[in-house]
A and B are shown apart, each in its own frame.
Chain A
Amino acid sequence: MLLKMSVPSLYRLLSRAVSSSSSIASLSRAPSLQHNKRNLTSSPFHSARKEDPLEETSLTIQSLFDSKERNKGTFVAACDIFMKRGPHRRGHVEFIYSALKLMENYGVHKDLEVYKRLLNLMPKGKMVPTNVFQVEFMHYPKQQQCAIDCLEQMEMNGVMPDTEMEHILRNLFGKMSHPVRKYGRMMYWMPKFKNASPWTLPQVVPNDTFELAKMAVERMCTVDPSSSITVYQTSEVEDALEDTWIVSGQSTVQQELLEKHPPGESIKVEGPFRIHLRDKSIGYFILQAEAKPKPPSPSRTVIDDVGSIKSWFTGELQPEETSLNQTCSVHEQEDGTILALCVTGTSGRDSLLSWIRLLEKSNPCLANIPVLFTQASPIGEIMNVEPEKHHDEITAAT
């Protein structure tokens, strides 16, 4: 039995080695073969042949994916055409590999349904092992490896499989097969990572910068539960040059800090800094004051002295007496005190000016504080302001 089974699979191994000029797929090396990102152990052979996804695939497959319009519809259509080619679905492994590589092009690399469709292209039942040895020695290695690579690509793209996927895999390779084990490990870890971030984002973040901006500001404002987020239009300001939106976040604590700020001392608008939301990023600005020196922590003798515990019921406390039980707010950082933050539609200097004007409504004290606009951005020139103004610091008195 074993001998009978091994002949065709050996043939398959050989033919694979010949056709794709790669090393023989062995169990230990197999997983690394098709990885784009983790090919630490891959041989120079196939790192060389990775260049063009369609290079090694046959003409027929190439033509299937030759459509001008690259979207989910055409991708699925290509799969359907392949499906209809006949019951044997010859060349399905090659087809799936080339499809996997093109998924990102078609924008379907985060779509679970498409992955299921790809795996469903494999013939059911035939590859289910019938004895222990087949189970452990990777029955139909090329196909199993293909399924594993498919799962790997899902993992890389953060696509979590579901129960239907398990059924597909078990119908293909049996319940103890390597792809099903891989599925098991994925289903152990991926749900755990799925919700690991305390800031939930949609699976695919929107392309719209306004939506992104709201998400970004909302996320950054979570440091202080008293924050509120306001959306302004620059048209609300009289002489605004740019007509755009501003998403601004400020908490009541920050308003208080701003109120306490000495009127003569200038504060700065800094940025843009970059915040990432999944694979998208957006620039934001902060209104920052110079860092205040922290109040000196009370000396040992003061703390140890229980003879004069100060509390509110012993009379009105002096400011220096309250320092013991007052903590700095989260906004007072070592490098400065952050007073507000915003994302504007254009990230332009004029929109920031409008932002300050608009902030004045809720922070009247801002009228007496000079505001500097610095444009030393850590992320370089992404702003669409006039190029000649890219100096280190441009001052604009309000």
Chain B
Amino acid sequence: MLLPCRLLSSVAPQRLWVGLGSRVTGSVNSLTSFRAINTSPKDASTPAVQHAEEENTSTEAAKLKKPKRAPFIKNLFLGRFDKSVLEFPEVLDQDQHELLHEMVVPIERYFLEQVDGPKIDRDAKIPEETLQGLKELGLFGQQIPQEYGGLGLGATEYARIAEITSLDGSIAVTLAAHQAIGLKGILICGTDAQKEKYLPQLACGDWTAAFCLTEPSSGSDAASIQTRATLSDDGKTWLINGSKIWISNGGFADLMTVFAKTTKILPSGEKKDKVTAFIVERSFGGVSSGPPEDKLGIRGSNTCEVFFDNTPVPAENVLGEVGGGFKVAMNILNSGRFSMGSSGAGMLKRLLSWSIDHAVNRKQFGNYLSEFAMIKEKFGRMSANIYAMESMAYLTAGILDGQEDPDCSVEAAIVKVFSSEGAWKWCSECLQVLGGLGYMKSYPFERYLRDARILLIFEGTNEILRLFIGLSGLQTAGGELREVVQKLRNPLMNPGFIIGKGIERFRQQKDNPKLDLDIAGHLHPTLQPSAQLLEYCVKRFQYSVEMVLAKHGQAVAAPKNQLDVARLADCAIDLYAMTAVLSRASRAYCIGLKNAAHEIQLASVFSAEAAERIKTRVRDLEIGPVQNHDDLYSRIADAVVENKGYVAEHPLTRTFW
């Protein structure tokens, strides 16, 4: 009887109704879970019209105006936890939801019935008719707005479709190279004329796009590219010269987003090289591509070198500003990564059910495999991991869809790192369940495993992304903690401050931070222990950020300090995962989804283990490089590098007889 009392005692905001009985969705500005519905048109004649209309217009206005929120993870580095994230996003309204689910059915059927994964892998080519089918399903224009002939999907819908397209790695990569990066530049910062000209052809799949950034001399370091664009004397055409490697779709793409160095003359007369992005049609001339590369996985996707030899590009085909290419590249890459979580999860879900199929039918030592605790543990852990992947992917997609001008670059990178590693690890474990069978080509596991390996490498290797996550957060934190860190680094000059800080940190040093964020108050009570853990981790994380900044100062970005940054990044990854699983499980339990109790179990076990990992990392940061063995490893590595190989003597070596 909680409800009526609450209603009576408070002049409840109208939205209260959304979160009946739970404190979670009860928080007022839940834009997402409110839907404006008109009652029958007849009502227009009744006196209550005004009331109804008022309400509808106000909710519609709320719907149109998305809330603007500060980036979640970046703020987390400052110990600020935005609790609105604990409200798992529901961005699709009823129509969109139904449309999406109608769309999913034929796509899924197509992938199960028409796509021959083993053949694509064997021939290292996606058959023309398969591509044609994908085009007919509209998969080449998923995020292109409807007015340009695309499907106009939001991030959430895109993530859902990615779950299915990931059933074949080659196709997923071909599609991603086309639209997640290839044409994304036009969507993000193209002019109207560019959109008008190119998007319709790209949406229907007549044209394929590619993204040309990587060069032989610059992989992760995008700013060091050598391809050069020079402006012709009349100022109307750019001439691009250079070569790009490992370009997905490079063999047949009709349109390429190419990054090249241009010379910019500063007001001072000084010349400076800056990266600029160009839209290049193959038909401009001077574009040639090498033979397709032979790869470990995603063999059906076309990857090759692309050469530009005096390719003329009209000036209006510059993407964004001249000299603003680096930003364009980062924007494109940052916006494409989030869907890897759902595609990884989609693939793993399929593999999980296949290996379970094997485990329940295979008997050894008188027991079915599914009865062995070691096999069961694999399934359990894998489920928890898939759950985290999915939750993070859709939470991020929800933020992208539901917020005004969202900054999700760090979140997207987190999703990418977590899910690519999960996909690789759990693919391998699924294969392990089948033992020798899994190793055979007649089963799909080895193919998926090979395909999954690329996830850790492309769109920014996981190492680079860890640095990106850590340093982005530290940058934000550094901006605000500037003075604090300055004082911390000069303790003798600021004795009063240090004593004050010491008292403040007393509890932190005892590993017993004060929990005052009330995260548990925003989740279902069942999840209270996990919420406490999350809160503990947030506090410890804040403490360790301060610690790392105080320890290294600005040198935190130096290559030798990467391990500490990576530790922070790993903490951030686990924190985001915990937040996502808890918010999703809480929502599921509150609204009574099927098997919601199971979700609670998944969320609890995942957050308990994530908290354990964070605890260890913070401890490692606390005790420093000597005790956490960073020093030792560094010295070993130095020796190995010096020796150009393994240093220790062979075990059979003797110094005397």
Residue numbers of A with Cβ under 8 A of B are: 83, 87, 117, 120, 123-126, 128, 136, 163-164, 166-168, 170-172, 175-176, 180-181, 184-185, 187-188, 191-196, 198, 200, 225-226, 252, 312, 322, 325-327
Give Cα A167 to B371, complex, Å: 51
Instruction: Determine if B46 and A163 form an interchain contact, defined as CB atoms under 8 angstroms apart.
Output: no
Give Cα A159 to B71, complex, Å: 41
Instruction: Determine if B592 and A123 form an interchain contact, defined as CB atoms under 8 angstroms apart.
Output: no
Interface residues of B in 255-313 (CB under 8 A from A): none
Instruction: Determine if A188 and B20 form an interchain contact, defined as CB atoms under 8 angstroms apart.
Output: yes
Q: Which residues of B contact A171 (CB under 8 A)?
A: 39, 43, 48, 51-52
Instruction: Determine if B21 and A188 form an interchain contact, defined as CB atoms under 8 angstroms apart.
Output: yes
B370 beta carbon closer than 8 Å to chain A? yes
Instruction: Determine if B366 and A322 form an interchain contact, defined as CB atoms under 8 angstroms apart.
Output: yes
B591 beta carbon closer than 8 Å to chain A? yes
Contact partner of A194 among B48, B52, B592, CB < 8 A? B592
B435 beta carbon closer than 8 Å to chain A? no
Instruction: Determine if A163 and B366 form an interchain contact, defined as CB atoms under 8 angstroms apart.
Output: no
Instruction: Determine if B52 and A124 form an interchain contact, defined as CB atoms under 8 angstroms apart.
Output: yes
Give Cα A247 to B608, complex, Å: 45
Closest Cβ neighbor of B593 among chain A residues: A195
Query: Please, what's the 1-or-0 string for B36-76, where 1 marks a CB less than 8 Å from any CB in chain A?
Result: 01011011011111011001000000000000000000000
Q: B405: shortest Cβ distance to chain A, in Å?
A: 28
Interface of A is mostly: helix
Q: B31: shortest Cβ distance to chain A, in Å?
A: 15
Given contacts A163-B37, A176-B7, contact A226 B361 (CB under 8 A): yes
Q: How many A-B residue pairs have CB under 8 A?
A: 96
Q: A122: shortest Cβ distance to chain B, in Å?
A: 10
Give Cα A133 to B366, complex, Å: 73
Given contacts A120-B43, A193-B592, contact A136 B8 (CB under 8 A): yes
Q: Which residues of B contact A196 (CB under 8 A)?
A: 592
Q: A256: shortest Cβ distance to chain B, in Å?
A: 9
Q: Which residues of B contact A175 (CB under 8 A)?
A: 12, 14, 17
Q: Which residues of B contact A184 (CB under 8 A)?
A: 3, 7, 17, 20-21
Contact partner of B37 among A136, A164, A226, CB < 8 A? A164
Other contacts beyond A180-B17, A184-B3, A325-B366: 17, CB < 8 A:
A87-B45, A123-B46, A124-B43, A125-B48, A125-B49, A163-B35, A166-B17, A167-B39, A171-B39, A171-B52, A176-B7, A181-B7, A184-B17, A195-B594, A226-B368, A312-B365, A326-B366
Contact partner of A192 among B8, B40, B361, B592, CB < 8 A? B592
Give Cα A170 to B17, complex, Å: 11
Give Cα A184 to B14, complex, Å: 13
Contact partner of A167 among B55, B370, B592, CB < 8 A? B55
Q: Which residues of A contact B512 (CB under 8 A)?
A: none
Q: A183: shortest Cβ distance to chain B, in Å?
A: 8
Give Cα A337 to B47, complex, Å: 69
Give Cα A185 to B20, complex, Å: 8
Instruction: Determine if A128 and B20 form an interchain contact, defined as CB atoms under 8 angstroms apart.
Output: no
Q: Which residues of A contact B627 (CB under 8 A)?
A: none
Closest Cβ neighbor of A117 among chain B residues: B40
Q: B42: shortest Cβ distance to chain A, in Å?
A: 7
Give Cα A326 to B368, complex, Å: 10
Interface residues of B in 349-380 (CB under 8 A from A): 356, 360-361, 365-368, 370-371
